[in-house]
Structure 1
Amino acid sequence: MLEVNIEEVTSDLHTIADFLRWSMSRFNEADLYYGHGAANAWDEAVSLALFALHLPDNLDDSIMQTRLTKTEKMAVINLVLRRIDERIPAAYLTNLAYFCRLPFYVDERVLVPRSPIGELIESGFAGLIENEPYSILDLCTGSGCIAIASAYAFPEAVVDGVDLSDDALDVAQLNIHNHELDDRVRAIKSDIFSGVAGQKYDLIVTNPPYVDAEDMGDMPDEYHHEPEMGLACGNDGLDIVRVILVEASEHLNDQGTLICEVGNSMIHVQALYPEVDFNWIEFERGGLGVFQLTKQQLEQHKELFKQKVSK
């Protein structure tokens, strides 16, 4: 636990800029891990300070020299110390995360949104789909961020966000309501495709649990605040992905396509299915392990996919 002289901090520091510098120094001292929205100590310090002070994130820099009351100072200090001592991701402390530049409520019932699929949504899946989709499935929706962002990207589409976790679906429904998309986005309980039997879609997008056993053991403390159900998925991380590959074609229209994230487990996908020509997508803003397969490809390799489900 970090030792902090609270009286010294509150008496010697005065402005927002003072507290941002102090927060950044404490974060660097504590060697925190950043992987849940903020990329560095400065961004993390800014997000927590603005939240503690009830300020928007589009302020003019002149606000940084304004002085804080003692109560405001303590609000910032307490958040900073919780971030350090408990290793809680900042998004859970603020209950706010951004995905595709959209705000989402998050708490420890769901993963913090961070998928590189967001870059694909913002581009309208350029180069990956031929026609605008009118029906989209977000498989393993969690907070609902991919489903909701997809609904913004394609205003004529209806979107189903499915998940097995009742807790996650409660958060997804809250976000759907907050974005006023109840008429186009549904949160559905489903064990992979079980809740959408008979439904077909133009596009299936999925960021399923895919962390293998080795990576789960090596994860920084911050990740252990997230639901393990949303991360771990068997020894090689592909227990759910195997089923998706078998069943996805049955839920795609003729020109439909599957976009699936597997992260570091792409090495296991490549080793398990060397015969399959996965389209591994490259990202301008960083990220890896997202592939595309068309319905035709899924059908072409269906027998192979079936053989691998039990292995």
Structure 2
Amino acid sequence: MHHDAEHCNDENCDHDHSHDPRDELVTVRDLLRYAVSRFNRARLVFGHGTDNAFDEAAYLILHTLHLPLDRLDPFLDACIPSNERAEVLAVIDERAESRKPAAYLTGEAWLGPYRFTVDERVIVPRSYFGELLQDGFAPWVPDPDEITDALDLCTGSACLAILMAHVFPNANIDAVDLSADALEVAARNVEDYGLEHQVHLLQSDVFSALGGRCYDLIISNPPYVTQDAMDALPPEYLHEPAMALGSGTDGLDVVRKIIAQAHAHLKPGGLLAVEVGHNRHLVEEAWPDLQMTWLNTAGADEGVFLIRREDLPA
């Protein structure tokens, strides 16, 4: 006869079914509190879609329970049956123990309202361009309808190319990456959005496979992490492809190729915009005479520089 450990007072009871303290976590609120404490104790690092333990825990719990990701409050006091609780606890455990970014546990990442399929073949989508493209890259692009050719260099999951397809409806968009693995993930996302006719994926080392193609707008979120920063990366970032993060001693090896070759691939009046995070000082040291404009976003002041074709080295 099977004894239910919770109701067993017999000293000879089978202790293989001993009480798990986590069985006392009954509601979403309980699980959320537990997850935040667990993540803080484990000293997890955030920066792949959320920037704190609470938001990360809420996202993982809501996703696992198939609840709307923007509606936590109505469900806080919902009681969770044991089978669902086991699923939630498993994902909390894996986040704390594996140190994988949440996006790799759920297989998805978000830029604003846009959802993308991701896995460890691509970096987790996060880019200041997500905000800059929301308003059609105004004021630098006066009329989004007039962009007919655009390029996303180092496309990864194709997240920025897909955003561009939405804000520049008349544009043919090329999306380039050196990684064949990344392009497989990108192809899935382009297909999910039904954009195969508008977004064209190409394997290329920056411009090398693009022949004589020219664009109204080139954007790039290239690898730009310095070697010192690569050596000090928290475990979360080690799950991402290193080639998508690091780029030489000063982090600017790929940016050098882009700046050297972009003039030949821009139409007259065309624009190049490149994300370099917090490395403005390194960029200005490397190109002291280049006429560039630094763009502000909510995520960072001056994390993206903009150069007109006419100001690029020919």
1:7 aligns with 2:9: no
Cα displacement (A) at 1:145: 0.4
Output the amino acid matched with 2:212.
G
Is 1:238–1:265's contact at 8 Å kept on the other side of the alignment?
no
Instruction: Mark the runs of 5 or more structure 1 residues left unpaired by the alignment.
Output: 303-311
SS at match of 1:37: coil
The equivalent of 1:158 in structure 2 is: 172
Is 2:128–2:303's contact at 8 Å kept on the other side of the alignment?
no
Is 1:211–1:264's contact at 8 Å kept on the other side of the alignment?
no
5 Å-filtered alignment, 1:91-106, equals 91-106=103-118
Match among 279, 285, 295 for residue 271 of structure 1: 285
The equivalent of 2:30 in structure 1 is: 18
The equivalent of 1:146 in structure 2 is: 160
Match among 235, 256, 265 for residue 251 of structure 1: 265
Output the amino acid matched with 1:87.
R
The equivalent of 2:7 in structure 1 is: none
TM-score (norm. length: structure 2) = 0.90
The equivalent of 2:310 in structure 1 is: 296
SS at match of 1:289: strand
Distance 1:18 1:180 in 2: 40
CA RMSD of aligned residues (A): 1.5
The equivalent of 2:224 in structure 1 is: 210
Is 1:116–1:287's contact at 8 Å kept on the other side of the alignment?
no
Distance 2:191 2:89 in 1: 33
Q: Extract structure 1 runs of 4+ deviating beyond 4 A.
A: none
Match among 219, 222, 230 for residue 236 of structure 2: 222
Output the amino acid matched with 1:8.
P
1:87 aligns with 2:99: yes
Match among 44, 47, 59 for residue 32 of structure 1: 44
The equivalent of 1:113 in structure 2 is: 125
SS at match of 1:281: strand
SS at match of 1:292: strand
The 10-residue stretch of structure 1 (128-137 or 255-264) with the greater mean CA deviation from structure 2? 128-137
Output the amino acid matched with 2:279.
S
The 10-residue stretch of structure 1 (125-134 or 83-92) with the greater mean CA deviation from structure 2? 125-134
- Alpha-carbon displacement from aligned partner over 1:100-127 (angstroms, at most 9, x marks no partner): 3200011110011111111110021112
- Alpha-carbon displacement from aligned partner over 1:194-240 (angstroms, at most 9, x marks no partner): 22111111100001111110111111110000000101111111111
User: Residues 288 and 226 (structure 1 numbering): CA distance in 2 closer, same or farther, change over 3 Å?
Assistant: farther
The equivalent of 2:298 in structure 1 is: 284
1:57 aligns with 2:47: no
The equivalent of 1:242 in structure 2 is: 256
- Alpha-carbon displacement from aligned partner over 1:252-276 (angstroms, at most 9, x marks no partner): 1112100001123322211111112
Is 1:139–1:161's contact at 8 Å kept on the other side of the alignment?
yes
The equivalent of 2:188 in structure 1 is: 174
SS at match of 2:59: helix
SS at match of 2:278: helix
Match among 41, 46, 51 for residue 53 of structure 2: 41
Is 1:176–1:182's contact at 8 Å kept on the other side of the alignment?
yes
Is 2:62–2:72's contact at 8 Å kept on the other side of the alignment?
no
Output the amino acid matched with 1:125.
F
Is 2:151–2:173's contact at 8 Å kept on the other side of the alignment?
yes
The equivalent of 2:10 in structure 1 is: none
1:194 aligns with 2:208: yes
Match among 85, 92, 98 for residue 73 of structure 1: 85
The equivalent of 2:137 in structure 1 is: 125
User: Residues 288 and 80 (structure 1 numbering): CA distance in 2 closer, same or farther, change over 3 Å?
Assistant: farther
Instruction: Mark the runs of 5 or more structure 2 residues left unpaired by the alignment.
Output: 1-17
Distance 1:58 1:88 in 2: 23
The equivalent of 2:6 in structure 1 is: none
Sequence identity percentage: 43
SS at match of 1:25: helix
Q: Which has the higher helix share?
A: 1
Is 2:58–2:72's contact at 8 Å kept on the other side of the alignment?
no
The 10-residue stretch of structure 1 (62-71 or 191-200) with the greater mean CA deviation from structure 2? 62-71
